[in-house]
Structure 1
Amino acid sequence: MEFQTKYITPDIKLSCYEDKLFKTEVVFEHHMLIWFMSGETKIIQAEATHVFQAGDVFLIPRHQLSTVINYPKDGLPHRTVAMHLSVERLKTFYADLDIQLQLPVSQKIRSFDRHPLLESCLASLLPYFDVEGPFPVHIAAMKINEAISILRLIDSDIDNVLANFDEPGKIDLVGFMEKNFMFNMPMERFGYLTGRSLSTFNRDFRRHFGATPQRWLTQKRLELAHYEIIQKRKKPVDVYLEVGFEDLSHFSFAFKKQFGYPPTKGGG
């Protein structure tokens, strides 16, 4: 079964996946509020790895590089309800509020420990996925505003995340790439997140690293995989996705070419 997503509005969706594994690497354009119904998700970011299961509610801030690996669990499909909190919607919500932002603020994933108010808000959307015809725009706006209001009620720091409408500016390329090389993103996306056009990103990258981005990224990912397999004794099948490879056989070929032995030998 393919990954299935049903939208009742462009900002509210139900996702379902029943096969063994679904992996994607994303930078969300909008904040994502997610209620987990069944299955399991591992979200890998530069500084932390999170695992979410049925009942969990969490917020992924926008513009954060993430590897997302979804699994069915306990015979149940991977199912979530997700709400996009777009910049446009948030600007409207905050237009009449006097908010003093405290920047910079941590853009880490925020977990709300199966909070009953958020769970109730998102669960109330389920019947609408079975109704034929367009979802009323005013009801969608009410539901999203309800979710934002609950977030503000239960997280005193959330305004510094949701009401920050800044776009990425030009930042230190070396520091960013050393921290985020394991994410298999298009070069255009790396450029955007470091505040550069693609041509400027490629030029700055060659100047700082003395190699093309793709060659350097492959080398860094293989070095990380080698460390995980040799030092931490992890299995190749548990490593290749997390370090930025998409295919196990391609990973094994590249690993053997780099180190002289296949990853299954573990250096032995």
Structure 2
Amino acid sequence: MSNMDYKVNYITPEIKLSCYEGKLFKTEAAFEDHLLVWLISGETKIIQADERFVFGAGRTFLIPRNQLATIINYPKDGMSHKAVAMHLSAKRLREFYADNSIKSKIKTEKIISFEKHPLLESCLASLIPYFEMQNNFPENIASLKINEAINILRTIDVNIDSVLNNFDEPGKIDLVAFMEKNFMFNMSLEKFGYLTGRSLTTFKRDFYKAFNSTPQRWLTKKRLELAYYELVEKNKKPVEVYYETGFENLSHFSFAFKKQFGYSPTHLIKS
């Protein structure tokens, strides 16, 4: 990906318009804020440990904070991938809920897809002209737009409070169960530690006790085993597999695969 392929315009640090014109753009996510996304054109695939989502142009969805996911953005139908994204920070939401009662206590941590709704679409579409202003956008108006979006979400989804009003930090959880479920996400060890309620030092210590291996070696082995399965059992191509199994790029994946199994992914497919 070149810098010419990917462009981001900010109204404020909390509201941005992104445009991508290359083949695909991949990122591993465990966002600190909830992220409300309106996809103007292109396609977005989101891969979680136990679920996959594909969103097309016109769709709106919310990615809850601290949820591990691989996000892949594609241009489609001759159109670049273009999206408006709004960060709903804990600070902003605490201020909002200080003045508003709670409607729902039903817990959910899944990515939430919203049906087309004129209120939500008009709110997000109204932001586009403001991107020409960039740094000159008044903070009080940005606050009004974010609060408008939150109020609309609460109007169209009666259970959204259970997500937006949840300010819990990750607690110490079962390390083995978490890692077995989420090893394919290319996160830093610090992030894995945070999401399991541990400091980096404690994470490494507990990991070695649980798996009798360093995190780096174990993660590489697990990702390669998953990649092998995807290639053989699901007949996927190496270019499809590497970014869904936590590898940085195709060359790194091919090198690690050959070192582990003695032959390249391409050779495996041909044989």
Mapping for residues 24-35 of structure 1, pairs under 5 Å? 24-35=27-38
Equivalent residues of 1:57, 1:115 under 8 A apart: no
**Aligned-pair CA distance for 1:157:** 0.8
Residue 136 (structure 1) aligned to one of 135, 138, 147: 138
Structural RMSD (CA): 1.4
**Aligned-pair CA distance for 1:265:** 2.9
Measured at CA, do residues 8 and 100 of structure 1 come closer, stay the same or move farther in structure 2, by a change above 3 Å? closer
**Aligned-pair CA distance for 1:132:** 6.1
Equivalent residues of 1:101, 1:164 under 8 A apart: no
For structure 2, the residue ranges without an aligned partner over 5 or more in a row are none
For 1:56 and 1:100, the matched residues in 2 are separated by: 25
Equivalent residues of 1:33, 1:58 under 8 A apart: yes
Equivalent residues of 2:104, 2:159 under 8 A apart: no
- Aligned to 1:241, the other structure's residue is in SS state helix
**Aligned-pair CA distance for 1:149:** 0.7
Mapping for residues 176-191 of structure 1, pairs under 5 Å? 176-191=178-193
Residue 13 (structure 1) aligned to one of 16, 28, 31: 16
Deviations 1:134-165 (CA, angstroms, capped at 9, x unpaired): 21112111111111111111111110000011
**Aligned-pair CA distance for 1:189:** 0.5
For 1:133 and 1:235, the matched residues in 2 are separated by: 43
For 1:183 and 1:93, the matched residues in 2 are separated by: 32
For 1:224 and 1:233, the matched residues in 2 are separated by: 13
Opposite residue 217 of structure 1, the aligned amino acid is L
Aligned residues: 267
Matched, 1:86 2:89: yes
Percent sequence identity is 68
Measured at CA, do residues 130 and 176 of structure 1 come closer, stay the same or move farther in structure 2, by a change above 3 Å? same
For 1:73 and 1:92, the matched residues in 2 are separated by: 39
Equivalent residues of 2:103, 2:159 under 8 A apart: no
Residue 175 of structure 1: aligned partner: 177
User: Runs in 1 of length 4+ with deviation above 6 angstroms?
Assistant: none
**Aligned-pair CA distance for 1:253:** 1.9
Residue 112 of structure 1: aligned partner: 114
Mapping for residues 40-119 of structure 1, pairs under 5 Å? 40-99=43-102, 102=105, 105-119=107-121
**Aligned-pair CA distance for 1:100:** 6.6
For 1:38 and 1:53, the matched residues in 2 are separated by: 7
Measured at CA, do residues 114 and 65 of structure 1 come closer, stay the same or move farther in structure 2, by a change above 3 Å? same
Equivalent residues of 2:11, 2:134 under 8 A apart: no
Residue 200 of structure 1: aligned partner: 202
Deviations 1:216-260 (CA, angstroms, capped at 9, x unpaired): 000000000011111111111111110001111221121122222
Question: If the length of structure 1 is used for normalisation, what is the TM-score?
Answer: 0.96
Question: If the length of structure 2 is used for normalisation, what is the TM-score?
Answer: 0.95
For structure 1, the residue ranges without an aligned partner over 5 or more in a row are none
- Aligned to 2:146, the other structure's residue is in SS state helix
